[in-house]
Amino acid sequence: MKKLKAAAVQFEAVAGDKKANLAKVEQFVECAKAQNVELLVFPECCLTGYWFLRNLSAAQLRELAEPAFSGPCATRLAELSRTSGMTIGAGLVEAGEDGRLYNSYIVAMPDGQMRCHRKLHAFEHELICSGSNYTVFDTTHGWRVGVLICYDVNIIENVRATALMGADVLLAPHQTGGCRTRNPHLMGLIEREVWDRRHTDPAAIEREILGDKGRGWLMRWLPSRAHDNGLFLIFSNGIGVDDDEIRTGNSMILDPYGRILVESRKADEDLVSAELDYSLLADATGRSWMQARRPELYKLLTERTGKERDARVLKFAE
């Protein structure tokens, strides 16, 4: 299997302005093409904007949403994929054929194939429904790819299921870091003025995005998702102002041993790329551990304990 050139993007989405956000996507596609990238990963809801969604009326949210494969954003992604030869993933609010709304991630491939993953643990708006299927598929580049969106990756069973379905690479689009919380050990808000002064006082914003509100928090769990499941992980995150929170970026690519191949430490929009070496997968520790599984012991994982709570309830209780 040949190596795969992959890239993770971080950018500051414009709330509700799909035209402006698509323009940013187009710029990054050109940048990636110059680096011979084959797999390009953009953040969660980067085409529509993200955290402002919770404040929209039902009518406003439905106006923003569009079909997964035939809407303007998907059509443009398909064109960009075809002309660039890259597999490209980006997030939006989907108007499902079932009449429901979803936080979805569209992946377009150069041969015209498209895939859509619906976030399994959605909480952004009471009208945004959670998906109910894992998304794992073969790409035209010969690699098998899985998709999990933000909170999906927090749940360890989701990543294990994706790995068991044969994923070589996990696309992990996020909008995280700098989140409001009552938990003193979980991220925390970054003051808007610190972000606004990032050019005159870069040390202040660097402390925030590289500290426990950003990279420090990610390092507690993100590498283990790659290592324990023996897959490459492409983490693409928002950066900058996201309604009343500040996203921390930290976009990175990890190998199947949980090692960081490349990462962004910028308080700015950025693209980072790395070559994925397929030969690392065969002997990855996580793949050996998965062979040692004893599924007959895991019945408890499929049974409700009575302590389960909806992701929206949990998120807004933090």
Q: In this predicted structure, what is the pLDDT of residue 317?
A: 84
pLDDT (tens digit per residue) in 132-168: 999 999 999 999 999 999 999 999 999 999 999 999 9
Burial (CB count <10 Å: 0-12, 13-18, 19+), residue 34: exposed
The arithmetic mean of pLDDT across residues 28-37, rounded, is 98
Strands (E), 56-213: 87-95, 101-108, 114-118, 128-129, 135-138, 144-147, 169-173
Beta pairing class for 232-236 and 4-10: unpaired
Please give the distance of CA 10 from its chain centroid, rounded to a whole number: 10
Q: Look at the block and give the residue holding tokens 């994925």.
A: 276
pLDDT of residue 252 exceeding 90, the answer is yes
Exposure string over 260-293, b if 16+ CB within 10 A, otherwise e: bbebbbbbbbbbbbbebebeebeebebbeeeeee
Angle value at C-alpha 247, between 213 and 120, nearest 5 degrees: 95
Task: Write down the mean pLDDT value for the chain.
Answer: 97
Measured CA to CA, the distance from residue 286 to residue 172 in angstroms comes to 18
Q: What is the pLDDT of residue 77?
A: 98
Residue 27, pLDDT > 90, answer yes
CA distance 169 to 163: 9
pLDDT by residue (tens digit) across 48-72? Answer: 999 999 999 999 999 999 999 999 9
Helix runs in 136-254, H state only: 151-154, 156-164, 192-196, 202-210, 215-218, 222-229
Question: pLDDT digit string (tens) for 104-122?
Answer: 999 999 999 999 999 999 9
Give the pLDDT confidence score for residue 318 in this predicted structure: 79
Q: For residue 8, which of 317, 291, 239 has the smallest C-alpha distance?
A: 239
Percent of the chain residues past pLDDT 70, beyond the cut: 100
pLDDT digits (tens, 9 = 90+) for 212-244: 999 999 999 999 999 999 999 999 999 999 999
Under 8 Å between Cβ of 97 and 108 = no
Query: pTM of the full predicted structure?
Result: 0.97
Across residues 250-273, what is the average pLDDT? Answer: 98
- Residue 285 pLDDT exceeds 80: yes
* 213 contacts 177 by C-beta, under 8 angstroms: yes
Mean pLDDT of 263-279: 98
The pLDDT assigned to 62 comes to: 98
Distances (CA, A) of 171 to 96, 256, 293: 22, 13, 24
**In 178-211, which positions are buried (b, 16+ CB within 10 angstroms) versus exposed (e)?**
bbeeeeeeebbebeeebbeebeeeeebbeebbbe
Is residue 1 over pLDDT 80? Answer: no
Mean pLDDT lowest among 39-43, 132-136, 311-315: 311-315
- Which 8-state DSSP code applies to residue 57? -
Q: How confident is the model at residue 36 (pLDDT cuts 50, 70, 90)?
A: very high
Model pLDDT, residue 295 = 96
Q: Could you tell me what percent of the chain has a pLDDT over 90? A: 97
pLDDT in tens, 179-199: 999 999 999 999 999 999 999
Fold classified for 4-317: Nitrilase/N-carbamoyl-D-aminoacid amidohydrolase (3.60.110)
